[in-house]
Chain A
Amino acid sequence: MSEHRLILAGLDGDRTWRLQDYVARGGYEAFRKILAEKTPSDTIIAELKASNLRGRGGAGFPTGLKWSFMPRSFPGDKYLACNSDEGEPGTFKDRDILRHNPHTVIEGMLIAAYATGCTRGYNYIHGEIFEVYRRFEEALDEARAAGFLGQNILGSEFSFELFAHHGYGAYICGEETALLESMEGKKGQPRFKPPFPASYGLYGKPTTVNNTETFASVPFIMKMGGEAFMNLGKPGNGGTKIFSVSGHVCRPGNYEINLGTPFSDLLAMAGGMRGGRKLKAVIPGGSSAPVVPADIMMDCTMDFDSISRAGSMLGSGAVIVMDETTCMVWALERLSRFYHEESCGQCTPCREGTGWLYRVVHRIEHGAGRPEDLDLLLSVAENISGRTICALGDAAAGPVQSFVKHFADEFGYHIENKKCLVLPAVQDAGSQIYVSQSC
């Protein structure tokens, strides 16, 4: 199987992000058609439900269902928010969508706003990507100039204002309610749910929050029809999905494939393993997803259900590939440090627990592990997961639980022998590959 590009289609040319190029690729047709035919919002949402589009930000919630939660007869403003706060280690798809095809996101948001009755939208862009922010602002200017945004769009009665909002680089602001808090000018900390954003969102108004890639998929669904989109993937896992493949592969990058494509095909598209080394493990859905050992992973297809059965999650589609030169204790230490730094500090288990996990893993990695540490790690992780306000606690606990479960021998060796099971020379060779050898 090969790539199946929808969102990333036609992006090999020069300056493909411009409005004229997007229109030449068939852009804004779906939206124009909806305006011209005054398509009822029920029809749009039904189409979306038929497409089986599931949220691309990580949780995989059915998008059509989410849109249908928006109250119809709410007096006053309703808001639409695009979550481009892509901070998960290993994920780099949204920035490429915004960099190369920003108008598909704008069109997707226009259709969403039309279907849910929103009057204002914001695109919350990750704080550490400046070029992308500027490019999206340029795209907004183009869209406004062409009359796609503003009052009475294209002579219709539909009005929608869209703005870009630059974050400040906190991972937690990718959590939708923390994103809303941040956008309101407050410290980005998740809200307790319920109430959900559809009833109490931005400034307390009904709000729909979707991922960049989710919005980017919407125009294609409208154009090809929900069922056709679903058939690209498989029931419950409709359409194409962009996977950010990184790690020990020959050609890291974004690959848009049909959901349900075997992992082995994706690995082949990414050029296979660097230096022909042996695959050791894969984190299939961004750093929050539990790690999957090579043999299980090679039997998986890339869709929500298959990865879930393998004990992990498809998440945001960040596929981190690790070969046999990787020390799993070192890898976990790196991940745990990330969650320790990024915990927002609001609720107790995550605030205190992430630091504890990191300190213990750090100790093991640096030769000061104790025999009881593995039980301790699992117990602390268990006390975090499911006890926190948002999913960051689970995200921090997941890697620890899966690494210790699948690679207990490596951790045990580390604790007993105060050194890595994977010899330092081998580890060095693994990282040297990037500078010395080509694929």
Chain B
Amino acid sequence: MLDIEIDGKAVQVPVGSTVMDAATLAGIYIPHFCYHKKLSIAASCRMCLVQVEKAPKPLPACATPVTNGMKVWTRSKAAVQAQKGVMEFLLINHPLDCPVCDQGGECQLQDLSVGYGGSCARYQEKKRVFVNKNFGPLIASEASRCINCTRCVRFTAEIGGEMELGQAFRGDHAEIMTFLGRAVDSELSGNVIDLCPVGALTSKPFRYSARTWELSRRSSISPHDSLGTNLIVQTKNDVVKRVLPLNNDNLNECWLADRDRFSYEALTSEQRLVSPMMRNGEGWHAESWQIALAHVSSALCAIVSEQGGQALGALASPHSTVEELYLLQKLTRGLGSENIDFRLRRHDFRGDAVRSGIPWLGMTVADVHGLNAILVIGSFLRKDAPLLAQKVRHSALRHGLEVCTVGPNAEDWRMPMATRALVAPSGMVDTLAAIAAALAEKTGKALSDTLAARVPTTVSDDARAIAKSLADGEKTAVWLGNLAEQHPRAAELHLWAQEIARLSGASFGFIGEAANSVGGYFAGAVPREKGLDARAMIESPRHAYLLLGAEPDLDFADGAAAVDAMNRARLVVAISAFDSPVLRQVADVLLPLAPFTETPGTFVNCIGDVQSFEASTHSRGEARPGWKILRVLGNLLELPGFEQDNIEAVRDEALTGNSSCYARLNNAIGDVPVAEPPAARANVFQRVADVPVYFTDPLVRRAASLQKTADAAPPVARMPSATMAALGVQPAASRVRVRGRTGESVELRVEADENLALGCIRIAAAHASTVALGPLHGELSAERL
């Protein structure tokens, strides 16, 4: 520890601390712009100049290391003179257009100029101006306001993983810009808006729509990925105007993925369902809640009494809250049905019978820092879980974490990668087995008896390299991603991941597909014995479906089959925040659901944190919180146990016996038999389907600005150039006809993708243009057009 005296206050700080760290510890604020606790030190704004004993010149607090016995004055005459001098320089070319600037009221320059700026300008010359640059659909640039702190530049390089912004030119001509003709495409790009201490980078969707002091603030939880990002939802006149991060050092730190930040635009989408709707022959009409719910309850009663409870299937989005899922399963079971599931994009449910507990990440997010090696199996990590990827990236860049992957995809994750075993989906189980075999050989531990017989005869170099990374690392982890969970042999991947983790001493777990992938299990929204899982409910169509927050065509493992099954049902009740042509096609009643900003609720994230939130605004139109809809429906059906007066009562009931929720988390799995993959056929390709980051759920699919980004481009058929050559497809803008197993085909533009296993075609799911292809995994044939 080092002793330092700041403004007469003595503090002790660890070796390696800067004066800024020490000041923070002592509770002393030193004005600054370029310094940010999560970014590297630039020491370029010079606002934090302080007086240091024996130093002939003022020194920047952010970059000056503390030495023992140092004496620092942050408010002495010399220090303040230096700070005021810097402030004057910062203001000479700043446009001072605060009245029309979105940053006004939350601007560091504005705030600090009150303390350090002059009341009139000595600068009488012309100010330099810049032409604004296009940074894409999310970020607005007002280059003339820039004070060149380079926080945004450092963010893209250090946190985003690729330097998408840079400072071009010299002197006072220096300006922040993207590479020529490029936008900022990072899935984390919106953070530069928060980082910008002035109004040079502001939110394009939020622009000119409200002043910061007019906004009410509510804390909330992101309904998108499994991290459970903490949010601040800001509203004006009961309308959500923007979403900002709420600092949580254990989860999202001070960052926010663009999906979490900009999805609020969908809340005011024209497709919002604002009134109960009932089918009227071929047409639809709005109806009151009383009539709609009465109709639903009598229709459900009729079908259940005629066909038995098992005729009903309940399918819920994994983005639903714990309370919604709990009441839905209670209602379904109350009607005598065990058919309830929220894992809509899964194919293989064999693991359900041999699971020991609730699958989760298997470690805390904070523990990613400190890992030596990680194996990520079947994941589009960067787009599936942008902030979890950021944690991994941070450790890989700063602490030498060795990142290994197994899967058919090897797109750029913007981080250093140790080994990427590129294998087609059908080869993934064998590759994991090979890694386990190499680990057994390397560590001298024996494979478990049942698995020893299933080890392949050849072990690839990649498998050995991955085994080495895992065996050499002191702290290691194995993660199963969305592609692994949606895999046709998911249970076997789970089993082998468990074996690899056992042999290497790694922790293992699931990244999780959605905000409530863990919470759904807590709520009991999964079938028990004899119940049908999500896949079975589609493959053996039910007479009636209850659909909660999911779109049949886009949120299911096989959208085409789901639509087909529901088309054939006698009754489909869709509780949904949005209207859509497909819902109108399949449903008989549409009940308007309040999305996450309009309802209280709870999500359980991938590490088992139970995070509850309140509604940020009132419900729009006639939309109602899901728990209320289901509770009233339960009353109408005269089911017992639907007497809750408030959401806390539902929550307590849902999580009863879960006083320690963490105790129920357990990834262990028993033996799963080998599912023989279909025999390879000539001219047939395997589909690799990602769910692109801005297609994941109904909310984000309707967020207008996100839909203008590069990540929301319509799906194309990506294939290795060898495959393109074999099909006779020219590299430039050729189109192919791709046919799924059912014979339905779609026409797609072709793009070469060398980061894809041979024999695979990667076509994104969750988009209307690719629904006809059917399941996320499976065989495709392709022909040139």
Interface centre among A194, A355, A360, A363, by most chain B C-beta atoms within 10 angstroms, is A355
Q: Which of A187, A341, A354, A386 interacts with B58 by CB under 8 Å? A: A386
Does residue B43 face the partner (Cβ distance < 8 Å to A)?
yes
Kindly state the separation between the CA atoms of A348 and B125 in the bound complex, as whole angstroms: 18
* CB contact list, A311-361 vs B, under 8 A: 340-356, 359-360
User: Closest approach, in angstroms, between the C-beta of B57 and any C-beta of chain A?
Assistant: 4
Inter-chain contact B41/A192, CB cutoff 8 Å: yes
Give 8 CB contacts A-B under 8 Å. A194-B65, A347-B44, A348-B44, A351-B172, A355-B172, A376-B122, A386-B57, A387-B58
Enumerate chain B interface residues (CB-CB to A < 8 A).
Answer: 41-47, 49, 56-58, 60, 63, 65, 82, 85-86, 88-90, 92-93, 122-123, 125-126, 128, 147-148, 166-167, 169-174
Q: Which residue of chain A has the shortest Cβ distance to B49 in the bound complex?
A: A387
CB-CB < 8 A to B63: which residues of A? 192
Kindly state the separation between the CA atoms of A172 and B169 in the bound complex, as whole angstroms: 12
CB-CB < 8 A to B174: which residues of A? 344-346, 351
CB-CB < 8 A to A382: which residues of B? 85
Q: Which of B46, B90, B166, B173 interacts with A387 by CB under 8 Å? A: B46
Kindly state the separation between the CA atoms of A66 and B121 in the bound complex, as whole angstroms: 45
Q: Which of A187, A350, A359, A389 interacts with B166 by CB under 8 Å? A: A187
Q: 3 tightest A-B contacts by CB?
A: A345-B174, A383-B85, A352-B89
CB-CB < 8 A to B56: which residues of A? 386
CB-CB < 8 A to B41: which residues of A? 192
Chain A residues touching B, range: 20 to 34
Does residue A170 face the partner (Cβ distance < 8 Å to B)?
yes
Inter-chain contact B65/A345, CB cutoff 8 Å: no
Q: Which of A192, A342, A354, A359 interacts with B60 by CB under 8 Å? A: A192
Kindly state the separation between the CA atoms of A325 and B92 in the bound complex, as whole angstroms: 35
15 new A-B pairs (CB below 8 Å) besides A342-B171, A383-B85? A192-B63, A341-B171, A345-B169, A345-B171, A345-B172, A346-B167, A347-B46, A349-B86, A350-B171, A355-B171, A356-B92, A360-B125, A379-B122, A387-B46, A388-B46
Q: Which residue of chain A has the shortest Cβ distance to B147 in the bound complex?
A: A348
Inter-chain contact B171/A344, CB cutoff 8 Å: yes
CB-CB < 8 A to A376: which residues of B? 122
User: Closest approach, in angstroms, between the C-beta of A84 and any C-beta of chain B?
Assistant: 21
Inter-chain contact A356/B125, CB cutoff 8 Å: yes
Q: Which of A187, A345, A352, A389 interacts with B43 by CB under 8 Å? A: A389
> With A351-B148, A383-B89 known to touch, is A346 a contact of B57 (CB < 8 Å)?
no
Kindly state the separation between the CA atoms of A349 and B174 in the bound complex, as whole angstroms: 14
Kindly state the separation between the CA atoms of A345 and B89 in the bound complex, as whole angstroms: 12
CB-CB < 8 A to B93: which residues of A? 352, 355
CB-CB < 8 A to A349: which residues of B? 46, 85-86, 89
Kindly state the separation between the CA atoms of A350 and B174 in the bound complex, as whole angstroms: 12
CB-CB < 8 A to B58: which residues of A? 386-387
Kindly state the separation between the CA atoms of A359 and B42 in the bound complex, as whole angstroms: 28
Residues 149-192 of chain A, each 1 if its beta carbon lies under 8 Å from chain B, else 0: 00000000000000000000010100000000000000100001
Inter-chain contact A352/B172, CB cutoff 8 Å: yes
Inter-chain contact B167/A348, CB cutoff 8 Å: no
CB-CB < 8 A to A353: which residues of B? 89
CB-CB < 8 A to B169: which residues of A? 345
CB-CB < 8 A to A388: which residues of B? 46
User: Closest approach, in angstroms, between the C-beta of A117 and any C-beta of chain B?
Assistant: 26
CB-CB < 8 A to A352: which residues of B? 89-90, 92-93, 172
> With A192-B60, A342-B170 known to touch, is A383 a contact of B88 (CB < 8 Å)?
yes
User: Closest approach, in angstroms, between the C-beta of B78 and any C-beta of chain A?
Assistant: 10
CB-CB < 8 A to A347: which residues of B? 43-46
Kindly state the separation between the CA atoms of A359 and B122 in the bound complex, as whole angstroms: 13
Kindly state the separation between the CA atoms of A354 and B171 in the bound complex, as whole angstroms: 8
> With A356-B125, A360-B125 known to touch, is A348 a contact of B60 (CB < 8 Å)?
no
> With A192-B60, A194-B65, A387-B85 known to touch, is A351 a contact of B125 (CB < 8 Å)?
no
Kindly state the separation between the CA atoms of A165 and B41 in the bound complex, as whole angstroms: 28
CB-CB < 8 A to B42: which residues of A? 192, 346
Q: Which residue of chain B has the shortest Cβ distance to A379 in the bound complex?
A: B122
CB-CB < 8 A to B167: which residues of A? 187, 345-346
User: Closest approach, in angstroms, between the C-beta of B372 and any C-beta of chain A?
Assistant: 21
Inter-chain contact A345/B170, CB cutoff 8 Å: yes
CB-CB < 8 A to B173: which residues of A? 345
Kindly state the separation between the CA atoms of A351 and B56 in the bound complex, as whole angstroms: 22
Q: Which residue of chain A has the shortest Cβ distance to B56 in the bound complex?
A: A386
User: Closest approach, in angstroms, between the C-beta of B590 and any C-beta of chain A?
Assistant: 56
CB-CB < 8 A to B170: which residues of A? 170, 172, 341-345
CB-CB < 8 A to B126: which residues of A? 359
Inter-chain contact B171/A351, CB cutoff 8 Å: yes
CB-CB < 8 A to A340: which residues of B? 171-172
Q: Which residue of chain B has the shortest Cβ distance to A347 in the bound complex?
A: B44
Inter-chain contact A348/B45, CB cutoff 8 Å: yes
Residues 377-400 of chain A, each 1 if its beta carbon lies under 8 Å from chain B, else 0: 001001100111100000000000
Interface centre among A192, A346, A350, A363, by most chain B C-beta atoms within 10 angstroms, is A346
User: Closest approach, in angstroms, between the C-beta of B62 and any C-beta of chain A?
Assistant: 9
Kindly state the separation between the CA atoms of A342 and B85 in the bound complex, as whole angstroms: 21
Q: Which residue of chain B has the shortest Cβ distance to A188 in the bound complex?
A: B170
Interface centre among A342, A349, A351, A360, by most chain B C-beta atoms within 10 angstroms, is A351
Q: Which residue of chain B has the shortest Cβ distance to A192 in the bound complex?
A: B43
Inter-chain contact B90/A348, CB cutoff 8 Å: yes
User: Closest approach, in angstroms, between the C-beta of A185 and any C-beta of chain B?
Assistant: 12
Kindly state the separation between the CA atoms of A363 and B124 in the bound complex, as whole angstroms: 11
Q: Which of A343, A346, A348, A356 interacts with B123 by CB under 8 Å? A: A356
Inter-chain contact A348/B43, CB cutoff 8 Å: no
User: Closest approach, in angstroms, between the C-beta of B634 and any C-beta of chain A?
Assistant: 64
* CB contact list, A183-234 vs B, under 8 A: 187, 192, 194
Inter-chain contact A387/B44, CB cutoff 8 Å: no
Kindly state the separation between the CA atoms of A387 and B93 in the bound complex, as whole angstroms: 19
Q: Which residue of chain A has the shortest Cβ distance to B149 in the bound complex?
A: A348
Kindly state the separation between the CA atoms of A332 and B234 in the bound complex, as whole angstroms: 54
Kindly state the separation between the CA atoms of A162 and B320 in the bound complex, as whole angstroms: 64
CB-CB < 8 A to A341: which residues of B? 170-171
Kindly state the separation between the CA atoms of A346 and B43 in the bound complex, as whole angstroms: 9
Kindly state the separation between the CA atoms of A172 and B170 in the bound complex, as whole angstroms: 10
CB-CB < 8 A to B60: which residues of A? 192
User: Closest approach, in angstroms, between the C-beta of B175 and any C-beta of chain A?
Assistant: 9
User: Closest approach, in angstroms, between the C-beta of B462 and any C-beta of chain A?
Assistant: 29
Inter-chain contact B44/A389, CB cutoff 8 Å: yes
Kindly state the separation between the CA atoms of A356 and B42 in the bound complex, as whole angstroms: 23
Kindly state the separation between the CA atoms of A190 and B122 in the bound complex, as whole angstroms: 29
CB-CB < 8 A to A187: which residues of B? 166-167
CB-CB < 8 A to B47: which residues of A? 348
Residues 274-302 of chain A, each 1 if its beta carbon lies under 8 Å from chain B, else 0: 00000000000000000000000000000
Kindly state the separation between the CA atoms of A52 and B404 in the bound complex, as whole angstroms: 55
User: Closest approach, in angstroms, between the C-beta of B112 and any C-beta of chain A?
Assistant: 13
Kindly state the separation between the CA atoms of A344 and B167 in the bound complex, as whole angstroms: 10
Kindly state the separation between the CA atoms of A192 and B45 in the bound complex, as whole angstroms: 12
Kindly state the separation between the CA atoms of A376 and B125 in the bound complex, as whole angstroms: 13
User: Closest approach, in angstroms, between the C-beta of A384 and any C-beta of chain B?
Assistant: 8
Kindly state the separation between the CA atoms of A359 and B88 in the bound complex, as whole angstroms: 16
Kindly state the separation between the CA atoms of A360 and B169 in the bound complex, as whole angstroms: 22
CB-CB < 8 A to A360: which residues of B? 125
Q: Which residue of chain B has the shortest Cβ distance to A172 in the bound complex?
A: B170
Inter-chain contact B125/A363, CB cutoff 8 Å: yes
Kindly state the separation between the CA atoms of A379 and B148 in the bound complex, as whole angstroms: 23
Kindly state the separation between the CA atoms of A353 and B171 in the bound complex, as whole angstroms: 9
Interface centre among B46, B57, B89, B122, by most chain A C-beta atoms within 10 angstroms, is B89
Kindly state the separation between the CA atoms of A355 and B123 in the bound complex, as whole angstroms: 11
Q: Which residue of chain B has the shortest Cβ distance to A341 in the bound complex?
A: B171
Inter-chain contact B44/A343, CB cutoff 8 Å: no
Kindly state the separation between the CA atoms of A345 and B34 in the bound complex, as whole angstroms: 14
Kindly state the separation between the CA atoms of A57 and B169 in the bound complex, as whole angstroms: 26
CB-CB < 8 A to B44: which residues of A? 346-348, 389
Inter-chain contact A355/B88, CB cutoff 8 Å: no
Inter-chain contact A387/B125, CB cutoff 8 Å: no
Kindly state the separation between the CA atoms of A382 and B93 in the bound complex, as whole angstroms: 19
